[in-house]
Amino acid sequence: MAAGGSSPSRSSQAAASSERGGNVGDGRQRILIIDDEKDVHYSFRRLLEKEPLEILSAESGDEGIRLARKSPPDLIVMDIRMGQQSGLDTLKELRHMNPKQVVIMMTAYGTSQTAIEAMKLGAYDYVLKPFDIPHLKDLLFEALAAARAMRQIVAFPVKASPEETRQTIVGNSPAMQQVYKLIGQVAPTNTTILITGESGTGKELVARAIYQNGSRLNKPFIAINCAAIPENLLESELFGHEKGAFTGAMAQRIGKFEQCDGGTLFLDEIGDMPLTTQTKILRVLQEGEISRVGHNQSIKTDVRIIAASNKDLWQAVQRKEFREDLFYRLNVVRLNLPPLRERASDLPLLVAYFINKFRLKQPTGPSQIAEEALAAIQRYPWPGNVRELENCIQRSMVLATGNTITLASLPEEIGRGYRSTAPGPLQTAGFTPDETTHPAAGAKSAAGETGKTGLAQAIETLFEFARHDKQFKIIDAAERELIVRALAVTAGNQVQAAKLLGITRATLRKRVDKFGIQKRMAID
């Protein structure tokens, strides 16, 4: 074990827990599958047939509730969309019946709203169809371990019923699924949230999603861009001022904190806030009170603060540009938004979303995008993130001459990138000609070049190898290279490498053994 050590993975604990037995008389834990598709029940039975588990089946929410009442399961795995009673309605009833019930939701529709609602209602987790089998199995045993622990410790709290929320966040990638989960978990609380991420990643949208799914929905939501307000006016804007407090203060002014009493205040780009104003924000967080400029009397205020920054606030602390004590007060829960280049699989969804959005204003505009135009979009690195993509689609719809967005209607820098990289048979990104002979063993990975060429081009590279070498296995080569890279950048720490890859430590160990990756570093 490396210095510092680590506790056993949750998956290994879960497996051990399962072997020690559960609710069933013969020592087996019980899983209830609720889904209206018979194939799903068959798949779970095949997946778990060699495990010491009892599998129960229900084809509707009502039937599942009856079974759960009669024979309480350790774990329920349930579809979100089912017949007359939806999975979310069933989840409410199950949680009302037994607040300690552990439930994993299944869905083929990984929208932000279903994810947020499921987590708000207390779901343990959710998975997307079609299933990633290794991930699903790890998650099941993880949840079974939690179910055992739940009989000895405090249960998950029952969440309030979800409110209707307009769909504003688009993305179905693993990185965005994690964002949705966190929104669902933090929204019902009054916890201070720090949202980080590059400009254009949608920090205000996430702040609004937290507000719209929280207990303060019927109270104000006010957003302030700290970088857009001059330093000498920001304090007055936030806290208000008394008449005559400074030159030009002709009347008393109520600040945003007082306007927002009982609601949510979103402080965008808080890293640009002056140090003097940071001191007053710290007082609000510590004591729940403010003072108007020019007045010493304290005013009690009940405001939930959500802050956001595109800067590294910890680096700003080191440079004495941001208060360390305020950083810790804000950083209770941090929600980091991935840049668009790290969730390239969301690009087709985003493009379709923006086309539909702009067609509401321009009904005669293009309703589709050409294949080569979409390919160019997928190869571009999008330094301006989602905001840049939105502007690109809006511009292209204006300039397109027909019903289709073509390569010619895209901005020159995007179209030029596609034309200049249209490859010949072996002139593909990320690998040298020598590596085409032994691509799995190459030191340079396609992933290492995505900043220059985009994920789509890296994938095209792998396809090109497969066309020229029938023995080349795309999935194995890509998976092995990702694991090698993850272990390299984490100095061989398997726990950190697994987190970076979005898999469990147990899964990582299996892959290391499968590919015979030599442990040249001190891997615990």
> Is residue 252 located within the same domain as residue 381?
no
> Is residue 62 located within the same domain as residue 128?
yes
- Asked whether residue 202 is assigned to any structural domain, the reply reads yes
Counting the structural domains of the chain, the total is: 4
Angle among Cα 218, 223, 229 to the nearest 5 degrees reads: 155
From the first residue on, what is the mean pLDDT of each consecutive set of 10 residues in the chain (524 residues)?
Answer: 36 36 62 93 92 92 93 93 83 88 83 74 84 88 79 32 49 89 93 95 92 87 89 87 78 80 92 93 91 83 95 94 96 94 91 90 88 90 94 92 88 70 35 31 36 58 63 74 78 81 85 64 34
At residue 447, the pLDDT reads 37
Question: What DSSP element (H or E) covers 317?
Answer: helix 313-318
> Is residue 92 located within the same domain as residue 233?
no
> Is residue 36 located within the same domain as residue 102?
yes
- Listed residues 421, 449, 480: the one ending a domain: 421
Tokens found for residue 133:
């089998």
104 within 8 A of 128, measured Cβ to Cβ = no
Strand ranges inside 143-276, DSSP E: 193-196, 221-225, 240-241, 253-254, 264-268
- Listed residues 336, 368, 383: the one ending a domain: 336
Look up the CATH number of the domain holding residue 70.
3.40.50.2300
SS3 readout for 318-370: HCCCCCHHHHHHHCCEEEECCCHHHCHHHHHHHHHHHHHHHHCCCCCCCCEEC
Supply the range of the domain harboring residue 508: 438-515
- Asked whether residue 35 is assigned to any structural domain, the reply reads yes
SS3 readout for 437-506: CCHHHCCCCCHHHHHHHCHHHHHHHHHHHHHHCCCCCHHHHHHHHHHHHHHHHCCCCHHHHHHHHCCCHH
At residue 194, the pLDDT reads 97
Look up the CATH number of the domain holding residue 309.
3.40.50.300
167 φ, ψ (degrees, to nearest 5):
-70, 115
Q: Report if pTM > 0.85.
A: no
> Is residue 251 located within the same domain as residue 297?
yes
> Is residue 76 located within the same domain as residue 114?
yes
- Asked whether residue 100 is assigned to any structural domain, the reply reads yes
> Is residue 112 located within the same domain as residue 42?
yes
Strand partners, 404: 368
> Is residue 209 located within the same domain as residue 321?
yes
> Is residue 346 located within the same domain as residue 315?
no
Side-chain-facing half-sphere of 504: CA atoms under 13 Å = 21
Distance CA 510, CA 524 (A): 14
- Listed residues 336, 357, 391: the one ending a domain: 336
> Is residue 325 located within the same domain as residue 348?
no
**79-104: string of b/e by CB count within 10 Å (b at 16+)?**
bbebeeebbbebbbbbbeebeebbbb
- Asked whether residue 156 is assigned to any structural domain, the reply reads no
- Asked whether residue 413 is assigned to any structural domain, the reply reads yes
- Asked whether residue 76 is assigned to any structural domain, the reply reads yes
- Asked whether residue 520 is assigned to any structural domain, the reply reads no
> Is residue 328 located within the same domain as residue 416?
no
- Asked whether residue 101 is assigned to any structural domain, the reply reads yes
Distance CA 35, CA 315 (A): 49
At residue 360, the pLDDT reads 86
> Is residue 57 located within the same domain as residue 90?
yes
Tokens found for residue 279:
């001191």
